[in-house]
């Protein structure tokens, strides 16, 4: 093997090896524990399997077909892992939902059953003609879904680059690296097959560099998705416009009546990222999401307690968006200093906050 080939093998293989180590770090050692970092670990592991297979095949065309199957199986999880990583980061999701579990169970069942029924060593033509194409299409579909999740961040970085947060630049960097690796493999017939491995290695080195630069920073990019924005406060004009949208959504559409309302739902309604809505509430109103929603619910409950005699106290709580009677009573007493029944007896006019 020539020196140039040896160097090529070294740098491409090193990326795959470091990727395995990095995925283990995210699975077991990174603090604080976050759902998004688990998905990032899955993403890096899946890419490492795909890249490792490619490197071995490039330098050894007679590579065992079972290794090829393992690499392609890993490739099947790249797109989903990317999507769920970005989704859990941007929406600050800390617990995997039943729907996500079902999706992963279905995807895992599909690729494992397909590999068991038609293993690559016995049916290479089926894999090359059908499975590989399906895997790349699945990867592409999840990349489109990921792009939709990142739409606000891309808009920010295009039109307001200087005001774009470092976490948004990180998300976009992860996405672009993935997209370049996808294109390198998808277009490998027109370029070098090893190009995807080199791009991955470069991306791994960038991640390692970020770790070194952020090592002493408690607010490092990978520490939290809810980055502080004290130096990136939303401009007054933009903030006022967003607050007007919020007022319309809450007062006119009565979004607060949805007992399952989440930060991401309200953010989507006014067309901004979840972290930006959280920033808006904290910086401009001085309150968190729960307090903001509960103020509207309690205000609506006050009106019903005085003007509507058809609902029971529990019914009023449900009507304004509380999921249980106990939550309604506890929140009402905390905010008004009395229980709903006490308020009803002592007030004869429509109260205001």
- Pairwise CA distance, residues 72 & 80, whole Å: 14
Residues in the chain: 353
Nearest to 286 by CA among 233, 225, 327: 233
Mean pLDDT along residues 327-339 = 90
The answer, yes or no, to whether residue 192 has pLDDT greater than 90, is no
Average of per-residue pLDDT across 325-345: 89
Across the range 291-308, mean pLDDT stands at 90
Averaged pLDDT for residues 291-320 = 89
Percent of the chain with pLDDT over 70: 86
Q: Residue 86: which pLDDT band, with cuts at 50, 70 and 90?
A: very high
Whether residue 328 contacts residue 317, with contact meaning beta carbons closer than 8 Å, is answered with yes
Q: What is the mean pLDDT of residues 261-275?
A: 85
User: For position 163, what pLDDT does the model report?
Assistant: 63
CA distance 2 to 234: 56
CATH 1.10.10.60 occupies which residues in the chain? Answer: 236-346
The CATH superfamily holding the domain 236-346 is: Homeodomain-like (1.10.10.60)
Please tell me the least confidently modeled range out of 171-185, 189-203, 301-315: 189-203
Cα Rg of the chain, angstroms:
26
| Per-residue pLDDT, 207 | 67
Averaged over 156-165, what is the pLDDT?
A: 74
Task: Find all residues with CB under 8 Å of 76, minimum gap 6, and list them.
Answer: 46, 107, 111, 135, 138, 139
Please write the tens of the pLDDT for every residue from 208-252. Answer: 666 555 544 544 455 444 444 444 567 778 888 889 989 998 988
- 216 or 207, which is more confident: 207
Average pLDDT over residues 45-56: 86
Enumerate the CATH 1.20.1070 domain ranges in the chain, comma separated.
3-213
**Higher pLDDT, residue 47 or 30:** 47
The second-level CATH assignment, the architecture, of 3-213 is Up-down Bundle (1.20)
Mean pLDDT of all residues in 98-108: 92
- To the nearest whole number, what is the mean pLDDT of the chain? 83
Q: Is the pLDDT of residue 349 over 70?
A: no
**pLDDT, greater one: 316 or 12:** 316
Residue pair 217/166 in contact by the 8 Å Cβ criterion = no
Q: What is the pLDDT of residue 352?
A: 46
What pLDDT was estimated at residue 12? 74
Give the pLDDT confidence score for residue 115 in this predicted structure.
94
pTM here is 0.66
Distance from CA of residue 199 to its chain's centroid?
Answer: 23
Q: Which residue has the higher pLDDT, 47 or 310?
A: 47
Confidence of residue 125 (pLDDT cuts 50, 70, 90): very high
pLDDT beyond 50 at 276: yes
Residue whose structure tokens are 């009565």: 254
The residue with greater pLDDT, 317 or 210, is 317
Model confidence band, residue 273 (pLDDT cutoffs 50, 70, 90): confident
pLDDT for res 200? 78
- 54-58, 120-124, 214-218: segment of lowest average pLDDT: 214-218
φ/ψ (deg, to 5) at 260: -100, 15
Distance CA 262, CA 211 (A): 32
């Amino acid at each position: 093997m020539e020196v140039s080939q040896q160097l090529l093998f070294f740098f491409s293989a090193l990326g795959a090896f470091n990727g395995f180590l990095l995925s283990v770090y995210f699975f077991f050692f990174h603090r604080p524990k976050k759902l998004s970092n688990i998905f990032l670990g899955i993403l890096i592991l899946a890419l490492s399997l795909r890249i490792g297979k490619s490197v071995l095949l490039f330098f050894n065309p007679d590579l065992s077909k079972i290794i090829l199957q393992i690499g392609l199986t890993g490739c099947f999880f790249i797109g989903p892992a990317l999507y769920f990583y970005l989704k859990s980061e941007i929406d600050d999701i800390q617990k995997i939902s039943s729907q996500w579990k079902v999706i992963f169970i279905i995807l895992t069942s599909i690729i494992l059953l397909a590999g068991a029924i038609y293993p690559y060593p016995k049916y290479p033509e089926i894999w090359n003609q059908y499975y590989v194409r399906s895997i790349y299409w699945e990867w592409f579909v999840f990349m489109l879904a990921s792009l939709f999740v990142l739409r606000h961040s891309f808009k920010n970085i295009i039109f307001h680059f200087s005001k774009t947060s470092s976490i948004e630049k990180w998300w976009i960097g992860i996405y672009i690296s993935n997209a370049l690796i996808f294109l390198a493999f998808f277009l490998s017939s027109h370029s070098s097959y090893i190009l995807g491995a080199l791009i991955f290695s470069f991306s791994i080195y960038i991640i390692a560099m970020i770790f070194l630069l952020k090592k002493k920073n408690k607010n490092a990019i990978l520490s939290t998705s809810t980055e502080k924005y004290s130096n990136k406060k939303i401009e007054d004009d933009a903030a006022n416009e967003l607050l007007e949208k919020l007022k319309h959504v809450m007062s006119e559409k009565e979004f607060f009546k949805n007992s399952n309302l989440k930060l991401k739902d309200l953010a989507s309604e006014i067309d901004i990222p979840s972290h930006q809505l959280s920033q808006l509430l904290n910086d401009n109103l001085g309150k968190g999401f729960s307090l903001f929603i509960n103020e509207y619910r309690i205000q609506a409950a006050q009106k019903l307690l005085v003007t509507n005699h058809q609902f029971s106290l529990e019914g009023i709580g449900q009507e304004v968006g509380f999921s249980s009677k106990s939550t309604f009573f506890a929140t009402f007493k905390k905010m008004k200093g009395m229980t709903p029944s006490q308020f009803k007896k002592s007030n004869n006019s429509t109260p205001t906050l």
